[in-house]
Amino acid sequence: MHYRAIIFDFDGTLADTLELTRSIYNKLAPAYGLRNVEAHEVPTLRDFSLKDLLLHLDISKFRVPSLLARGTSMLREQISEIAIIPGIAAMIPELRSRTETFGILTSNATDNVNLFLEAHGLLDYFTFVSSTSKLTGKAKHLRAIRKTFSLQPHEMLYVGDEIRDVKASQKAGIPCAAVTWGFNSRSSLSAADPTHIVDEPHQLLVLEGQ
C-alpha cells in the first residue's frame, strides 16, 4: 500500500525517551505521593495498556494532566540529551520522498519536538507537528488531519509505539504501524491487532512500498 500521508508518534517512536521519562517521573512522584518506578520493573510495565499502567502505579486519571504538563516542561530542559532511535535518521529522508504529507502527532509539546528535530537536522522533512494534551485524544486529531489534507482513510498511516496509538488509529479508521522498539512490548502490541508490526526502522520503507 502506498500511503499519501505518514504520521508519527514522537516519544518512543522517533525519540528514545523511555529512560528519561522514568527519571522525570521518579522526580515528580514524591510530590504526588506516588512510588518510584525502578529499572527492573520496565520490562513488565511494557506489557501494560495505559489504563492498566495507571492502575498499577495507583495514578488517578485526574492527576494525569498535571503530571504530563510538569513532565513535559522538565523534558524540555533536557531535550539535548535525548537520543534519536537508531536507524530513524537514515530512514526519514527516503520515506519522506515517497509521501505527500509527513507529520507528527504527539502527547508531548510541539516546542519539545521541534527542538529535537532541529537538533538532529530533521525539522525540514516534516509538514507539521501537532500535539494533544490528552493521552487518549489522538483519534480526534487523526480524523482532523485526514480532513485537513483531504485524505481517504486508507491513504494515511499512523506510526506509534504504544497500545493507545493502535487504538487511536482504529478508532479513527486508519491503518497503524506499531513499532516494537518503544514503550509497549511486541506481544502486547500484536494483541492490539495493528495493521502492521515493525521491528526495525528500515522496514517502514518496505512497508510503504507494498
Which amino acid, 44? T
Which one of 9, 11, 161, 165 is the catalytic residue?
9
Which amino acid, 50? L
Angstrom distance (rounded) from CA 37 to CA 39: 7
Angstrom distance (rounded) from CA 38 to CA 120: 30
Rounded (10°) CA dihedral 179, 197, 99, 18 = 0
Sign, CA dihedral 64-85-176-173, equals: positive
Query: Which runs of E-coded beta strand occur in the chain?
Result: 5-8, 15-16, 83-84, 101-106, 128-131, 156-160, 176-179, 196-198
**Residue 43: helix, strand or coil by DSSP?**
helix
Angstrom distance (rounded) from CA 137 to CA 197: 22
| 9 tagged catalytic | yes
Catalytic residues: 9
